[in-house]
Structure 1
Amino acid sequence: MGTTSSSSADDSCIEDYKFLSRLGYGGFGDVFKCVDKRTKKIVALKVSNRPWGLVREASMLKKLMDHKLDQCNIVKFYNSFGTDRCLVFEPLDISLKGHLAETKVVMQLQDIRTVIEQMAEALDALKKIGVIHSDVNTNNIMLMDRVRPFRVKLIDFGMAISTCSAEQSHIDHGYSNRAPEIILRLPFTEAIDMWSLGCVMGKMVVGSILFPGRNNYEMLQYIVDLLGLPPAHVINVGSESRDYFTETDSQHWELIEYWGLRKSDNRRYTFRSLDEVITINKSEADEMKECINLLKAMLQWDARERIIPSEVLAHPLITRSYLNKSSSLNNCYSQIKCVVPRNEVCLVDVGNMRMALWPQFPSRAAPVQTSSGQQQLWQKEFVLQNLFN
């Protein structure tokens, strides 16, 4: 079944579908699992309960399908009917939120990588055609099935807008994934989707919502607690920044304390730095370091410094380039073991040894060179364990 034109879509009617079950619901209406009686195929039918229907979403979806974005991890839209009150999609399995609720455990890093890579591809495709999704969250990321590696799709374009109209648009999605520029009323771009994806990634990594604020003020408190204060230039540009921040006598900004606004802490974690997550999860340490590195890049206060989708796809967590460095290190150690006989003591110029091997590891900070001719007595195992400490 392919995307049909609006004229042929109008020939469809609700009687053409056999309803099997209700898949979900929201402020827009309901989503049903149905059989298209004409093609005998399973479809998902989104039915609006609003008089004006789903006109804006239908128009955006047709644009996405014209660009074949269903090939970029975006839900496939078939057609609409009933004056755009009914939208027909490919069937999907379960939302990421539903999957996390079912498993009740922190996602494996390999699964996190899979989801983030596919969502970065989706956001990259949207960026190229000038579209902002505006509501990236765990409800709007769907698993196609439950077979690993997971295949996921981005859904719900009811709040999607064109990049060119971003400054004039008012975004009112859920608090927990809301970017700072939306809270502080700065001009915004598709970078708000990357912040939201970072919040999704945080939930997959930690197992709970990073910023579970119930209003903008609580959101800012949680963000400041975890990421620190925003840069001064971000505060200065926000039209509503002074509702939340005040300038001190020393010309520094601080969050205003509104007594009684936060009577309880909704966070289910105790760390106050993303770096602490690395120490919590000591297994797969190298991969976790890259994971947190990417998460930090997604959650930048300044949207201009936030990582973009194409850069996510080139990040070491996605490319797994850190495995090559680990392999090179192991090969290096193996070569040393061949040079130094077992159970023997040898003289090693530590500084020269480090500098000779260092070009193979450009990502590390350069070690301090020992003074010329300095030699120390090292046993083989001590050299191997401390060569790059």
Structure 2
Amino acid sequence: MGIGISSPSSDYEMEHYLGSGAYGAVVQSKKLTTNETVALKVIKNERYMEVAKKEVEILQYLKGLGSDKFNIVMLNDSFTHVGCYYMEFEKLDINLTDFLRKKPRRSLEQKEICPIVHQLATTLDFLQSVGIVHADLKPENIMIVDEGQKPVRVKIIDFGLALKNPEEHRGAVLQTLWYRCPEVLLGAAFSGAIDVWSLGCIVVEMFTGSALFPGENENEMLRENVSDENGGESERDSFVELVADMLKLDSAKRISPSEILLHPFVAKSHLADNSIHEKSSSSAGSKTKIDQNDNAESGNRSPDAIPAKRRKDCEDVEMTCAQTSPSMSPSQK
């Protein structure tokens, strides 16, 4: 692109387009004063500038509380240039949707999912402890820090819908449709538990390769009268049990982020020597320390292409979710 822009502290050269969010485009840029590669979020429409400034305010608030230790994207700067508002972020590698698309079956094994869930639960635990609801957790807003690194490290981005004091926002349209929880669909009171619901949907999507609730509208998502019965819990493995706990219709019964971190699936032994796990574990007790395409595609897979044990796990997950949740979709309407 080669377009130059300036802030009070640096000049930038725009290199190439990375993607777009709800109200701005993101461009990879070179920060000329330091020669760093950064991501610039560009907001041209005045209508969205106040939203962007609220996002900056929340990210600065979180940064002051040590958000860099809790898998949240780092905001470096914000400024206005020639009528546009810019937000400078650290450059991350690829979002979770695109990462999954590169996989043979657009899915991950449980051992790959486990550290991702641990990191995301650590983030949600931190957010809950400081009174922030992300309100738009979806695969496009989960970034892989370095695609080549094993195990995968992730960070949450796009705090454009994030809010404090959820009790004041009852009835607001939040969350991308495929990841929108029952209480938001119904306009009921909500809490940080809405982010746990979204995480549950994402966990299933990572495992099966398909969106859990690909509905077209809210009516579709509320059409089925579902049951909140447990149905053979003793026979489920810890993974299926965790998904069921994330997707409880009653938000008061939904598992909390701190409980996710203690769940057998997340805390299981194969992570004992995992450096990501150790780093996250050291920062997971946030409660005691502190009193970026809405049209995501998801590939459907032939059951015959999946090993029998894994196919059975997928069926267990899907059966559990059908028992505990209504149908949903990724596009905010």
| Greater displacement, 212-221 / 67-76 | 212-221
Distance 1:66 1:38, change over 3 A: same
Contact 2:166 2:190 in 1 (8 A): no
Residue in 1 that maps onto 2:126? 125
Indicate the SS of the match to 1:44. Answer: strand
For residues 316-355 of structure 1, what are the structure 2 equivalents within 5 Å?
Answer: 316-320=264-268
| Greater displacement, 149-158 / 21-30 | 21-30
Match of 1:297 among 232, 245, 259: 245
Residue in 2 that maps onto 1:215? 217
Residue in 2 that maps onto 1:22? 17
Indicate the SS of the match to 1:305. Answer: coil
CA deviation string 1:53-77 (max 9, x = no partner): 2111111111111111121000011
Distance 1:297 1:18, change over 3 A: same
RMSD across aligned C-alpha pairs, in angstroms?
Answer: 2.7
For residues 222-301 of structure 1, what are the structure 2 equivalents within 5 Å?
Answer: 224=225, 228-229=226-227, 289-301=237-249
Residue 219 (structure 1) shift: 1.4
Residue 179 (structure 1) shift: 0.2
Q: Percent identity?
A: 35
- The alignment of Structure 1 onto Structure 2 pairs a total of residues equal to 260
Q: Does the alignment pair 1:90 with 2:90?
A: yes
Contact 1:143 1:151 in 2 (8 A): yes
Distance 1:70 1:207, change over 3 A: same
Q: Does the alignment pair 1:99 with 2:99?
A: yes
Residue in 1 that maps onto 2:174? 172
Residue in 2 that maps onto 1:139? 140
CA deviation string 1:224-251 (max 9, x = no partner): 5xxx3359xxxxxxxxxxxxxxxxxxxx
Residue 169 (structure 1) shift: 6.0
Q: Does the alignment pair 1:45 with 2:45?
A: no
Q: Does the alignment pair 1:306 with 2:245?
A: no
Residue in 2 that maps onto 1:112? 113
**Whole-Å separation in 2 of the counterparts to 1:119 and 1:80:** 26
Contact 1:133 1:159 in 2 (8 A): yes
Indicate the SS of the match to 1:122. Answer: helix
Contact 1:202 1:295 in 2 (8 A): yes
The one-letter code sitting in structure 2 at the alignment partner of 1:19 is: M
Residue 27 (structure 1) shift: 3.5
Contact 1:316 1:322 in 2 (8 A): no
Please give the TM-score of this superposition, normalised by the length of structure 1.
0.62
Contact 1:166 1:188 in 2 (8 A): no
**Whole-Å separation in 1 of the counterparts to 2:171 and 2:79:** 27
**Whole-Å separation in 2 of the counterparts to 1:295 and 1:183:** 20
Match of 1:78 among 76, 93, 116: 76
Contact 1:132 1:161 in 2 (8 A): yes
**Whole-Å separation in 1 of the counterparts to 2:231 and 2:90:** 37
Residue in 1 that maps onto 2:325? none
- The higher radius of gyration belongs to 1
Indicate the SS of the match to 1:75. Answer: coil
Residue in 1 that maps onto 2:55? 57
**Whole-Å separation in 1 of the counterparts to 2:219 and 2:197:** 18
Residue 149 (structure 1) shift: 0.1
**Whole-Å separation in 2 of the counterparts to 1:323 and 1:132:** 28
Stretches of structure 2 that go unaligned for 5 or more consecutive residues are 1-5, 273-333
For residues 174-213 of structure 1, what are the structure 2 equivalents within 5 Å?
Answer: 174-213=176-215
Indicate the SS of the match to 1:100. Answer: helix
**Whole-Å separation in 2 of the counterparts to 1:36 and 1:95:** 22
Contact 2:167 2:190 in 1 (8 A): no
